[in-house]
Each structure stands twice: as C-alpha cells, then as structure tokens.
C-alpha cells in the first residue's frame, strides 16, 4: 500500500499543507488506498512534504507523485480533456502553485496574527526553552525565500491586488461547473481545491481568504470536493 508522508490534520482539514492536500486528493480521485505517516519530515528526500513510499519506491514532490501514479497505475487524471484543456489545466496549476501559493505563505508566516493562530502551533513539540528561537529562525528563512521569489518585495496592498487577480481568474474559469472542466475532476482540480480549502481556514484571515470567501462558486467548490472525497471534514 502507498504510504503518504504528511503533516497531519490541521485547521479542520486533512492537512495543513496545500501540496499534501493536493496529493491526498489525487489519490482519492484515482481510488488508490494509502496510509499516512506523520513522522517523515526529517527524512524527506527534498526537505519538504509530501512524498510517498510505494513498496520501497520513494517519490517526492506532489507533481512528480502525480506523474508517478499516472505511469505506474495507468491513470490519466485528465482523461476526457482536449489538448487545449490539458494545457489550460497545467497553466492553472502553475498559477496556483508558483504564484498564489507564495501569497499564502506570506499571509500565514509573515503576518504576526496569522502566524500566532496558525503556523506557530506547528512548533508545539519543540522544547519550550528554545521554541521562540526556532520560530524566529524559521520565519526569517521564509522571509528570505519570499524576497528571493519576488513577492516578498511588495507591500501588503500590492500583494492583496495580486491575490484578488488570481482568485478572480480561478472563479471565472470554474464558473458554474462542478469542476474546472465539467462534470468530472481533473488533475488541476486537486490543486485548485487544495488552495481554495486552505485559503478558507477560519483561523487565518487575509486578502486571500476574503477574496475566496467573496466567490460563492469557489466556496461551493470546496464544499463539493470535501463532501465527495473527505466527508469527515465537511464544513457544518
């Protein structure tokens, strides 16, 4: 059976990481059984989660996990899509993963209030004496990464503009369809659902959460995927 290395449930979702949640969703779409292991971060091949162990085959990174599942299990997550739709799905994924995700990182880790209500809880197992130092070091490292990526150089108002543009694009592309390309989910839906669900975490307030909450079709999309694939996490 596939072993998925994950962080574990947080914020009323199956995982705190959108990339782990994306991978869980792909596994659910594929109908593949898996078990979770929350102890693998220190052994992560690329220093990040998720990664999987499939009978000794280690695959890291959510995108490469997707490609592995397709090749190994004969799955086509984009079955039924045209070549143009497949290309559009890839473009949507990368807008969300390479741009919007970093806006989420900024909102969670740099905003003091959100950090205290959210990521600060990840350090609960660290020794109390050094916990503040570890938190400060990790936040400083993330701030440097944001600056190197580019988004960390913008003001909060400018970041809010970018967040609204990403969410507007996603909401328009979804429209009134159940999934991005019609009645059935595709690979891009795993990413889109994960980002939308993580943005709607009630403990973390930001222009991202406001932008998503203002789009009823995205809120309904989150609820629809939760009900279909993660029913125990359905929002009341």
Q: Does 112 share its domain with 228?
A: yes
pLDDT band at residue 236 under the 50/70/90 scheme: low
% pLDDT > 90, the chain? 95
Q: Does 149 share its domain with 201?
A: yes
Question: Does residue 96 fall inside a structural domain?
Answer: yes
Range of the domain at 54: 2-73
Q: Does 102 share its domain with 214?
A: yes
Angle in degrees, CA 108, 15, 158, rounded to 5: 25
Q: Does 169 share its domain with 136?
A: yes
Last residue of a domain, one of 73, 94, 111: 73
Q: Does 105 share its domain with 66?
A: no
- Distance, in Å, from the CA atom of 131 to the CA atom of 133, rounded to the nearest integer, reads 5
Q: Does 55 share its domain with 130?
A: no
pLDDT in tens, 33-63: 999 999 999 899 999 999 999 999 999 999 9
- Distance, in Å, from the CA atom of 116 to the CA atom of 24, rounded to the nearest integer, reads 27
pLDDT in tens, 122-147: 898 889 999 999 999 999 999 999 99
Q: Does 145 share its domain with 228?
A: yes
* Beta carbons of 5 and 52 less than 8 angstroms apart: yes
What is the per-residue pLDDT for 28? Answer: 98
Last residue of a domain, one of 73, 108, 123: 73
% pLDDT > 70, the chain? 100
Looking at the DSSP assignment, which residues form a beta bridge with residue 53?
3, 58
Question: Does residue 105 fall inside a structural domain?
Answer: yes
Question: Does residue 116 fall inside a structural domain?
Answer: yes
In terms of DSSP bridges, do strands 51-54 and 34-37 run parallel, antiparallel, or are they unpaired?
unpaired
Q: Does 133 share its domain with 115?
A: yes
pLDDT in tens, 77-133: 999 999 999 999 999 999 999 999 999 999 999 999 999 999 998 898 889 999 999
Last residue of a domain, one of 73, 101, 136: 73
DSSP string across 16-67: S-HHHHHHHHHHHHHT--EEEESS-GGG-TTSSS-EEEETTEEEESHHHHHH
Query: What strands lie across the sheet with 2-5, from one edge to the other?
Result: 34-37, 2-5, 51-54, 57-60
Q: Does 88 share its domain with 197?
A: yes
Which structure tokens are listed for 138?
């990790």
What is the per-residue pLDDT for 70? Answer: 98
Residue 143: closest CA among 168, 179, 174, 119: 119
Residue 85: closest CA among 220, 169, 164, 185: 185
Give the pLDDT mean for 9-22. Answer: 96
Q: Does 45 share its domain with 136?
A: no
Residue 139, domain CATH: 1.20.1050.10
Residue 28, domain CATH: 3.40.30.10
Question: For the chain, what is the domain count?
Answer: 2
């Amino acid at each position: 059976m596939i072993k998925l290395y994950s962080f574990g449930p947080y914020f009323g979702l199956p995982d705190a990481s959108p990339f782990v949640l994306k991978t869980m969703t792909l596994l659910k779409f594929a109908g593949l059984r898996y078990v979770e292991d929350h102890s693998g971060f220190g052994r992560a091949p690329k220093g990040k989660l998720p990664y999987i162990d499939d009978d000794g085959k280690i695959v890291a990174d959510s995108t490469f996990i997707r490609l592995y599942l397709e090749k190994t299990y004969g799955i086509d997550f984009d079955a039924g899509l045209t070549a143009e739709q497949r290309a559009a799905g890839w473009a949507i994924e990368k807008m969300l993963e390479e741009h919007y995700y970093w806006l989420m990182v900024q909102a969670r880790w740099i905003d003091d209030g959100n950090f205290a209500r959210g990521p600060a809880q990840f350090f609960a197992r660290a020794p109390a004496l050094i916990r503040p130092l570890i938190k400060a070091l990790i936040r400083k490292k993330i701030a440097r990464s944001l600056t190197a990526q580019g988004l960390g150089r913008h003001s909060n108002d400018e970041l809010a503009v970018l967040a609204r543009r990403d969410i507007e694009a996603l909401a328009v592309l979804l429209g009134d369809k159940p999934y991005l390309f019609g009645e059935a989910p595709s690979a891009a839906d795993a990413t889109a659902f994960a980002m939308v669900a993580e943005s709607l975490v009630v403990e973390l307030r930001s222009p991202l959460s406001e932008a998503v909450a203002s789009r009823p079709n995205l809120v309904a999309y989150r609820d629809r995927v939760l009900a279909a694939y993660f029913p125990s996490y359905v929002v009341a």
